[in-house]
Amino acid sequence: MKKLIFLFLFSISFLSQSQEKLNGVSIVAPSKTSSYPSINEVKNLGANWITIMPYSFVDENTGQVIFNTDWQWWGERTEGVIAAIVEAKKQNFKIMLKPMMWLKGGGYTGDLQFEDFNKWNDFEKSYADYILHFAEISDSLNVDLFCLGTELKSFMQFKPQFFPKTIQTYQDSFQFELTYAANWDNYKNVTFWNKVDYIGIDAYFPGASNSQPTMQQAKTELVKTKYELKDFAEQKNGKILFTEFGYRSCAQCAYQPWAHKKEVTPSADCQKNALEAFFIQLYNQPWCAGGFLWKWYDSENEFPRNIATDYSPQGKPSLEIIKQNFK
């Protein structure tokens, strides 16, 4: 009888662990050397994962991906990335490493284009070098999850074999799990979800269009999205991971969550209501593996001037909503 009880308790414990949500936060790379107090701060939210994001810049004239340069922020370079991984491991976080890219003028990476098609060949090689650099670091430091790319719609169209081939190579070479971060409007066009561990989506789904939606209004606007995601997860026999999710703390924040308009009206309540609706309708569903809140700034470096209308929940009422759901 004692043996049966032990086996029952063990199986319950194992099931609980296997179904634990990836409650994550995206850590903004600090501009200067930091001890990463942000990592300890997000632990107080109940987070058990963090995203570390090295950055690169694309030269649209040559197709070259530029990274790990002296003029980049410290946290975007190899030195800062390694320091973040080490600190996160000290504090028992699991880690997703998510290489990111900037386009000139802040354009959308999914719309990247080259006038000369041969430049796609140059970009492909250069991008491969970029992510391999951080994949090797990730493997050597026991990072748990590696994101192969973020919102690269046009790259997938022009070079459809790049990601399937890279996935196979990485699975043969490295120990970490794999995902890819598709934009909310393009995840259905990704052809390799059956080859990675999570269906990664940057979850800026359009929602309530009014200026100050109540939580119930924001919740209602996500009903269709909820059932579409549920059906897609079942169709692909996988779990969805929100590789990014969040809302700005401004009026009409749920309407086009991806928008970066400068002239907006601050509204902490809009962010709070939209996040609460997101957790109820999407995040806390059984087909969702978890997600990574966008985003959390380093308190040893300066906050941006627009922090009052930024995505970060730091110092805002939405912190309580996050704590209630990161449990």
Kindly state the average pLDDT of the residues 277-294. 98
pLDDT at 261 (0 to 100): 86
CB 206 within 8 A of CB 256: yes
pLDDT at 304 (0 to 100): 85
pLDDT in tens, 32-70: 999 999 999 999 999 999 999 999 999 989 999 999 999
CB 205 within 8 A of CB 253: no
- Rounded to 5, what percent of the chain is helix, strand, coil? 45, 20, 40
pLDDT at 144 (0 to 100): 98
pLDDT at 105 (0 to 100): 74
Cα 236 from chain centre: 20
CA–CA gap between residue 225 and residue 19 (Å, rounded): 23
Query: Of 127, 34, 54, which Cα lies nearest the Cα of 95?
Result: 54
pLDDT at 104 (0 to 100): 80
Query: Of 62, 122, 126, which Cα lies nearest the Cα of 99?
Result: 126
Residues contacting residue 151 through CB under 8 Å, at least 6 positions apart:
108, 109, 110, 181, 182, 183, 186, 202
CA–CA gap between residue 327 and residue 47 (Å, rounded): 8
Kindly state the average pLDDT of the residues 147-157. 97
pLDDT in tens, 89-145: 999 999 999 999 999 877 899 999 998 889 999 999 999 999 999 999 999 999 999
pLDDT at 102 (0 to 100): 93
pLDDT at 1 (0 to 100): 46
Kindly state the average pLDDT of the residues 188-195. 98
Half-sphere exposure of 308 (CA within 13 A, CB side): 8
pLDDT at 72 (0 to 100): 95
CA distances from residue 319 to 147, 192, 323 in whole angstroms, order as listed: 26, 35, 6
Tokens matching residue 142: 């026991």
pLDDT at 4 (0 to 100): 44
Ramachandran region, residue 222 (left: φ > 0; alpha: ψ -120 to 50; beta: rest): alpha
CB 26 within 8 A of CB 53: yes
- Nearest 5°: the CA angle 22, 27, 32 is 160
| Amino acid letter for position 63 | G
pLDDT of residue 10 exceeding 70:
no
CA distances from residue 22 to 18, 49, 230, 242 in whole angstroms, order as listed: 11, 6, 18, 9
pLDDT at 106 (0 to 100): 79
DSSP 172: H
pLDDT of residue 198 exceeding 70:
yes
18 band by pLDDT with thresholds 50, 70 and 90: very low
pLDDT at 305 (0 to 100): 85
Tokens matching residue 51: 């995203």
3 band by pLDDT with thresholds 50, 70 and 90: very low
Q: Coil, helix or strand for 205?
A: coil
303 band by pLDDT with thresholds 50, 70 and 90: confident
Kindly state the average pLDDT of the residues 207-217. 93
Q: Coil, helix or strand for 287?
A: coil
Mean pLDDT, the chain, whole residue set: 93
Kindly state the average pLDDT of the residues 181-188. 98
CB 194 within 8 A of CB 161: no
Say which residue the tokens 């501009």 belong to: 31
pLDDT at 86 (0 to 100): 98
Tell me the CATH number of domain 21-325, given options 3.20.20.80, 3.40.50.1820, 3.90.600.10, 3.40.50.2000. 3.20.20.80
9-18, 185-194, 205-214, 245-254 — which is least confidently predicted?
9-18
pLDDT of residue 7 exceeding 80:
no
Domain boundaries, the chain: 21-325
Question: How much is the pTM?
Answer: 0.93
Kindly state the average pLDDT of the residues 172-193. 98
pLDDT of residue 324 exceeding 50:
yes
